[in-house]
């Protein structure tokens, strides 16, 4: 790469606490010739806080393509540019993909300046399994479509993480309670790094109860995490062949939830074990 071609820096900014930006991030924002920001008024607060005077230009979802061409021309002309979003890491449910894709295609240097990201911050402090996870961005707006996502994920291993808004958090936990076992573990991380930061971890039933009974739990910004299906744990003490037959018969006639409920009464086996076996039977089909 020739020295007189600019570098495109992807700079992570805070998700609340304005001190959550790296020294390198500040240095880059101070030395580039231009900062492309999702919302310049919003980013002005951060730049003022750190006494950064670098000029800004708006780069958001409505001008992505047009602005990308403008920014690429500047890079080729030798100017270095920093891309920032309103909060956290650009491109993670924020604008920037089109610019980075085009810059890579043009053979330009793109450099990440890592830092805050709400999903990683939530995962690191939630107490929900971290070894494997899937990120779904924002879930669909309708209850039926959200439930379909939960149905799909409850049979998969690994934690499911997604963003949620204050208008939908109550409906979302309602949908979770309708699909998951009440004893399934989950967490809601709210207002991370801000004054009212709250991380509630417990069973779906417990977290649902907390959201419904505490109006503050329906305000602010949220990351939701729900544990995946744990095959190893459920396989440790399996059902007898007889009990599996009972479960299979019930499952051929009704929904998993009803089949498990009836199987608990008929076999006397724990609900969690029957439910895990039901999911395995479903998977095997």
Count of residues touching ligand SAM (by CB under 6 A)? 24
Among 20-28, 60-68, 88-96, 172-180, which window interacts with ligand SAM (CB under 6 A)?
Answer: 88-96
Regarding 222 and contact with ligand SAM (CB under 6 A), the answer is yes
Regarding 25 and contact with ligand SAM (CB under 6 A), the answer is no
Output the smallest distance, CB 17 to ligand SAM, in A. 9
Separation between Cα atoms, residue 95 and residue 185, nearest integer Å: 32
**What letters, b where the CB count within 10 A reaches 16 and e where it falls short, cover 131-163?**
eebebeeebeeeeeebbebbeebbeeebbbbbb
Contacting ligand SAM within 165-184 (CB under 6 A): 165
Nearest to 146 by CA among 165, 123, 171: 171
Separation between Cα atoms, residue 104 and residue 42, nearest integer Å: 28
In DSSP terms, 190 is beta-bridged to 198, 222
- For residues 176 and 260, which CB has a smaller minimum distance to ligand SAM in the complex? 176
Output the smallest distance, CB 191 to ligand SAM, in A. 5
- For residues 181 and 187, which CB has a smaller minimum distance to ligand SAM in the complex? 187
Regarding 88 and contact with ligand SAM (CB under 6 A), the answer is yes
Regarding 163 and contact with ligand SAM (CB under 6 A), the answer is yes
Contacting ligand SAM within 28-87 (CB under 6 A): 85, 87
Regarding 226 and contact with ligand SAM (CB under 6 A), the answer is no
- Which residues in 3-122 belong to E strands, given as ranges? 7-11, 34-37, 56-58, 81-84, 109-113
- How big is the CA angle at 240 (ends 177 and 238), to the nearest 5 degrees? 55
Q: Are 36 and 99 in contact (CB under 8 A)?
A: yes
Output the smallest distance, CB 190 to ligand SAM, in A. 6
- For residues 125 and 281, which CB has a smaller minimum distance to ligand SAM in the complex? 125
User: Which residue shows structure tokens 């020295």?
Assistant: 3
Residues that bind ligand SAM in the complex, under the rule CB under 6 A = 15-16, 85, 87-89, 92-94, 117-119, 163-165, 189-194, 221-223
């Amino acid at each position: 790469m020739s020295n007189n071609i600019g570098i495109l820096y992807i700079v992570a900014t805070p998700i609340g606490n304005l001190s959550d930006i790296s020294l390198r991030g500040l240095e880059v924002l101070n030395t580039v010739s231009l900062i492309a920001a999702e919302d310049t008024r919003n980013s002005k607060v951060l730049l003022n806080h750190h006494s950064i005077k670098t000029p800004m230009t708006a780069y958001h979802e409505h001008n992505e393509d047009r602005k990308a061409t403008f920014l690429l021309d500047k890079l080729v002309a030798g100017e270095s540019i920093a891309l920032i979003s309103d909060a956290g890491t650009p491109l993670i449910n924020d604008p920037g993909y089109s610019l980075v894709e085009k810059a890579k295609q043009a053979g330009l240097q793109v450099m990440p300046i890592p830092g805050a990201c709400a999903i990683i911050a939530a995962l690191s402090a939630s107490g929900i399994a971290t070894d494997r996870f899937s990120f779904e961005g924002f879930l669909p707006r309708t209850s039926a479509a959200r439930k379909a996502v939960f149905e799909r994920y409850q049979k998969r291993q690994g934690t499911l993480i997604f963003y949620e808004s204050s208008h939908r958090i109550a409906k979302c936990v309602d949908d979770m309670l309708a699909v998951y076992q009440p004893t399934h573990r989950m967490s809601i991380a709210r207002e991370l790094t801000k004054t009212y930061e709250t991380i509630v971890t417990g069973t779906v039933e417990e977290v649902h109860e907390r959201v419904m009974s505490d109006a503050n739990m329906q305000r602010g910004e949220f990351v939701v995490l729900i544990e995946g299906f744990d095959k190893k744990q459920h396989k440790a003490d399996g059902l007898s062949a007889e009990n599996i037959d009972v479960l299979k018969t019930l499952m051929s006639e009704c929904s998993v939830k009803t089949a498990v409920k009836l199987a608990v009464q008929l076999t006397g086996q724990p609900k969690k074990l029957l439910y895990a076996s039901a999911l395995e039977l479903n998977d095997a089909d």
